[in-house]
Chains A and B, each alone.
Chain A
Amino acid sequence: MLRTLGILALICAAAFGLHLVLDSIDAYWARIANLCGISILLAVSLNVINGLCGQFSLGHAGFMAIGAYVSAFFTTTLRYFDDAAGQYVTVLPLLDQSWGFVPALLLGGFAAAAAGLVIGIPTLRLRGDYLAIATLGFGEIVTIMITNFSKVGGANGLSGIPAYSNGFWIFTFAGICVLFTLHLQRSTFGRALIAIRENELAAEVMGIRTARIKIAAFVYGAFFAGIAGGLLGHFLQTISPATFGFMKSIEVIVMLVLGGLGSLTGAIIGAVTLTVLPELLRDVETSTGMPGIRMVVYSLVLILLMLFRPQGIFGQRELSLRLLRSLLPGRRKEGAPSAPAAFTAQQSVEAKTFFARAPQTLPPQNEGKK
């Protein structure tokens, strides 16, 4: 417990340090870095559902929308536009501080998690394509409901949201999400998720309550998607139903597939790559003078990556000291993982050394090799 609190304090401190760095560098790159943080939250949370548990969900943008609207509604309804002063005025002066933001954000996260529970119970009985379609439907329902709900601006969306999101909050939540997910992967719960992904029937025979575990994974992913939505809303200062369309869900899935479905480091690398790449390509567009070439190159990069590395950058492996060492020439061991579908005990040990943790915290190694 004390140890966890210590790590949380470390994350906050690191996020604060990063926030100061971002404050001092060029605002454009600082902005991209912040967007990367939000993408990491999205990709890592979806990785628990799609990558670890193997349930193909297309509704991530729907959870984001719920989180964004609930938290933005909370922070904007407590302000009004003063015509005389020509600016927004806060009803409660205390909420002018971004501290009012954290409860709003958590409320958004819990609302999204609740939606995840409600939608998860009936749909997680479905498998494969059927689940994908059902979650796709859920995402559409959310945006259509928001469009027809005039209290939150309807199709025009909400604007004038206070700019509470900054490097500190974004990276604190991204750090917490990564840490929780790392712990989750190593826990009995995480092993159960992987068992369900590998063979649901066998997992059930082994005594795993598959329905419960799947719903829990869904709720977990939805919670952090809601947080990411809230952070994005308070970062862009405007949200509309169109921001959380079907394409947003696809974007997050592309991040996962690019990085390696099922790998935490892969999700992070995929999120950063897909956020930074279109921005790096802006200069290509300016120098060639061809409008639209940016998106062509971007798509081409994705196609080439999938052609030459279909399992994603990381496959299902994690970045770890041991992995790096095994890549060094002359030290390559015979056990270089070849079957991409197997998450072996060896790899889970590699995942541990990522944060150089003591080996005695290992759970019993009873999952066996496939």
Chain B
Amino acid sequence: MRNTLLLAAIIATVTITAAACKSDIGPGFTNDKVTLGLFVSTSGDIATFGQDTKNGAELAVEEINKAGGISKHLIDLRFQDCASEPAQGGNAATKLITQDGVLIGMGEVASGISLAAAPIFQKYGVPMISPSSTNPTVTQQGDMIFRICYLDDFQGAACALFANQNLNCKTAAILMNQDDAYSTGLGKFFRFKFEKLGGKIVAEETFKKGASDFNTQLTNIKGKNPDVIFAPVYYQDIPLIAKQARGQGIDKPLLGGDGWESDDLLPKADGKLDNCYFANHYATADDAPIVANFVKAYNAKYGSNPTSLAALGYDVVYVAKKAIESAGGINEKLTRKAVADALRGLKDFEGVTGTFSIDKNRDARKPIQMLKIKDGKVLPDRRIRPEEVE
């Protein structure tokens, strides 16, 4: 009895205190500073992805602050590590919102972590821009969630168009990793578009994650004699596939997606990937001034060529800047909702990864860069715009 009374008293006290105080997340800027949040993984399985993104974003912040900041407010970039785990990603997002009071959150690379962070940003009405999560459901989590990379349906279709128009292929084979949603997804979208364009998929072969012998699949493909082999796999697998294919005497080009991108790609392939093609977000060898300046500045600061993730991390900060400026710059009238509205209306933003707009699904509508491997170099080939594949 005494315990029950005590408990009732505790509950009553707590209810009264709970009603009295409620945390406020603030406007996201002060008189001379604007707080932006970055959450990617710098530890765990996907730490390299997060580190590249962070490098790119920090380079952009440094440049903007050197040039005077966003409407005379210097950027105060707050970073939180997601440790490659959805639960920790959610923690990082919550900390950025409620403790750092960021105006805009930028992150994650992995869709699984972005999906855990998105409902939190949506709940607090803070805009979130993902630089590189490709799962379509990420931006469906709410009207505050945006992304600036292309989606895999567009990438698969663009590869099919490229095979049909530029490589003049009538038949194609697909070789994919059955355990990977990225790989099977691209394969599916490629098949759909290629057949629509009048081509024929003569073989579809799969392998298991971690496989190192692809000879069985390649023998089957060789028997069907396709004009091109579409291999939407990661950079660890493609050099082995190329060597074994050339070893079997298959001389047709291999075609792939952005999973091929890596500094290791060419050294590991021993020249066997010559005259092959892959799709990417941008080309380091692009001579457009914005790309050349970025590659030069990145090399000077970090001593390596920027990956696509670094380029997207760089672009995401500039997208945030442009959105704040289109919302009327930083003054007492600026709200997070106004920034989100500006993001929704973002048109013809010129970034390292191409000129793009935000569509009605809050996804980026942007061109894809096809790359050609020739004499140990990765050279820019055709750029495919979204309207070309529709």
Contacts and interface: CB of A to CB of B under 8 A. Distances in A.
Contacts of A35: 87, 91
A31 B143 contact: no
A160 B114 CA distance: 12
A20 B14 contact: yes
Contacts of B138: 159
Nearest to A293: B43
B90 interface: yes
Interface string A156-170: 110110010000000
B98 A27 contact: yes
Contacts of B54: 291
B95 interface: yes
Interface in A87-124: 87
Contacts of B86: 236, 238-240, 243
Interface in B183-239: none
B71 interface: no
B331 to A, nearest CB: 28
B80 interface: yes
- Count chain A CB atoms within 10 A of each CB in B80, B83, B86, B111 and give the residue with the most: B86
Contacts of A13: 7, 11
Interface in A32-90: 32, 35, 81, 86-87
A282 B22 contact: no
Interface residues of B, number: 50
Contact of B21 (A24, A157, A291): A24
Nearest to A242: B112
Interface string B134-149: 0101101111000000
Contact of A278 (B18, B22, B88, B143): B88
Contacts of A10: 3-4, 7
Contact of A294 (B11, B81, B140, B181): B81
Given A13-B7, A21-B14, A154-B181, A295 B83 contact: yes
Nearest to B90: A236
B42 A237 contact: no
Tell me whether chain B's interface is mostly helix, strand or loop, or mixed.
helix
A305 B260 CA distance: 43
Given A10-B7, A23-B18, A295-B83, A236 B94 contact: no
Contact of A159 (B23, B44, B137, B143): B137
Nearest to A25: B23
A344 interface: no
B51 interface: yes
Contacts of B20: 24
A26 B18 CA distance: 11
Given A20-B18, A159-B141, A237-B116, A27 B94 contact: yes
Contacts of A286: 79
A310 interface: no
B17 to A, nearest CB: 6
Contacts of B21: 24
Contacts of A239: 86
B213 to A, nearest CB: 21
A24 B115 contact: no
Nearest to A236: B116
Contact of B81 (A27, A159, A238, A282): A282
Contacts of A87: 142
Contacts of A128: none
B16 to A, nearest CB: 10
B143 A86 contact: yes
B166 interface: no
B179 interface: yes
B99 A81 contact: no
Contacts of A200: none
A21 B81 contact: no
Interface in B81-115: 81, 83, 85-88, 90-91, 94-95, 97-99, 111-112, 115
Contacts of A294: 43, 81, 83
B99 to A, nearest CB: 6
B163 to A, nearest CB: 26
Interface in B3-52: 3-4, 7, 10-11, 14-15, 17-23, 42-44, 47, 51
Contacts of A137: none
B119 interface: yes
B179 A155 contact: yes
Contacts of B44: 295
Contacts of A237: 115-116, 119
Contacts of B115: 157, 159, 237-238
Given A13-B11, A282-B81, A28 B116 contact: no
A25 B94 CA distance: 13
A286 to B, nearest CB: 8
B180 interface: yes
A157 B116 CA distance: 12
A340 B116 CA distance: 42
A155 B94 contact: no
B9 to A, nearest CB: 11
A86 B122 CA distance: 13
Select the residue from A17, A27, A238 with max chain B CB neighbours within 10 A. Answer: A238
Contacts of A189: none
6 contacts: A87-B142, A156-B135, A159-B115, A163-B119, A282-B80, A294-B81
Interface of A: 10, 13-14, 16-17, 20-21, 23-28, 31-32, 35, 81, 86-87, 147-148, 154-157, 159-160, 163, 232, 236-240, 242-243, 278-279, 282, 285-286, 291-292, 294-295
The 6 closest A-B pairs by CB, nearest first: A24-B18, A238-B115, A155-B181, A291-B42, A20-B18, A159-B115
Given A25-B23, A156-B135, 16 more contacts: A13-B7, A16-B11, A17-B10, A20-B18, A21-B14, A21-B18, A27-B23, A32-B91, A155-B180, A156-B137, A157-B115, A240-B86, A285-B81, A291-B79, A292-B42, A295-B83
